Every structure is written in C-alpha cells, then in structure tokens.
Amino acid sequence: MLDDKEIIVNANLQDIPAAVPLKKYSFYAGMLVGASIEQVRQVITNYSLYSKLIPYVDRAQYSEKDHRLKIEGGIWSFKLRSEVLFKQVMNRWVHYQIVDGHFSGLEGDIYFESLGEKGSAVYFTGEQIGKLWPPKFVIERGAEIVFEFTARKMRSYIESEKRTDKGAGNGKQQELPQPRGRL
C-alpha cells in the first residue's frame, strides 16, 4: 500500500464457532493519498460530499449539530438506508456507529496517519456481530468493490483539489525558489 499506492480492502463474514447462528462481519480498507493529513481529513470527514463523489451513494445528509449522517444507496439491487453517528476521538481518529437503519449496531473507526512527503494514509475499519446477513458474496465482494471504488474516487478528488490549490496562487504571484547568496 505504501510503496505502490495500492488500495487494500477486505470484507469477511464468518461464523462464530461457539455462538451458532451468530456471524461476525468485519472489514477494512486502506489507502495512501498524495496530500497533507489536513487536506485528506477535510475531504474524508466532509460526509455531505459522499453523494457527489460516490455513485453508490444516492443521498448523504450530514447534521453538524448532532454529528449524524443519513445515508442511502447501494450496489446491484441491494439498497440500504442508515444513520451514522460520528465521534472525533482525537484529531487523527474518528469513531462511528450505525445507530439506525441497515447494519444498525455496526461500529468502526477512521484513522489518519501522516507519512511526511509521501502524503497521508487513511485506514477505515468496522465490525458487527449478528444473525441475519445479506448473501455472503454480496456482503464480502460487494463491499470490497464499493470500498475500493470509493477509495479511488476520494483519492483522485483529494489529489486533484491539491493541484488546484497549488495552481490558484490566491491571486498572488507564486514565489519561485531563489538561489542562495552564499554556500
């Protein structure tokens, strides 16, 4: 991931041996973005932007007041509606929990890590234990398709915004590096 800018994704639905018929659903995704941690965090936590960037999201309505995101969308014929509560644990760590709708009770985290000149890494995790699940293929492969596509779209958007910001110059002439007067 860090050397080749590969996006890593995994979604897994597995039986819990001692608790039949319970199953544990877990997933993670990670990517490297060629931008500062502030730029990356600003876009990733702009939850209202999701419906504009991600074709799988039909509606994303975020309330700043109560930190809740109402989100609707899906893949193939599987449409979902959920309400997600976000809590900033630390500057580089956001915890979330689905509090209503599909996957109610699922919890996870978003982590941001600065990698200096390489850019920033973003990690997205989640898990839930339950009895009733969509077909395994949909919840595993469908999720991986959505997570990877979303990560590519987000990274492309963030990096294109970074290029736009650099080129804008805020109406001022950009300063060019000047040679040193002495060594």
Q: Give the pLDDT confidence score for residue 172 in this predicted structure.
A: 46
Evaluated on CA atoms 102, 105, 106, 107, the torsion sign reads positive
User: Residue 105: which residues within 8 A CB-CB, separation 6 or more?
Assistant: 97, 98, 128, 130
Q: Indicate the CATH number for domain 8-166.
A: 3.30.530.20
Q: Note the pTM of the prediction, 2 decimals.
A: 0.83
Domain boundaries, the chain: 8-166
The number of CA neighbours under 13 Å toward the Cβ of 153 is: 16
Residue 139: DSSP 8-state:
I
Per-residue pLDDT of the chain (183 residues; tens, 9 = 90+): 777 788 999 999 999 987 678 999 999 999 999 999 999 999 999 998 999 888 889 999 999 999 999 999 877 777 889 999 999 999 999 999 999 999 999 999 999 999 999 999 999 999 999 998 988 988 999 889 889 999 999 999 999 987 666 555 554 444 555 555 555
Contact 59, 47 (CB under 8 A): no
Phi and psi of 39, rounded to 5°? -65, -45
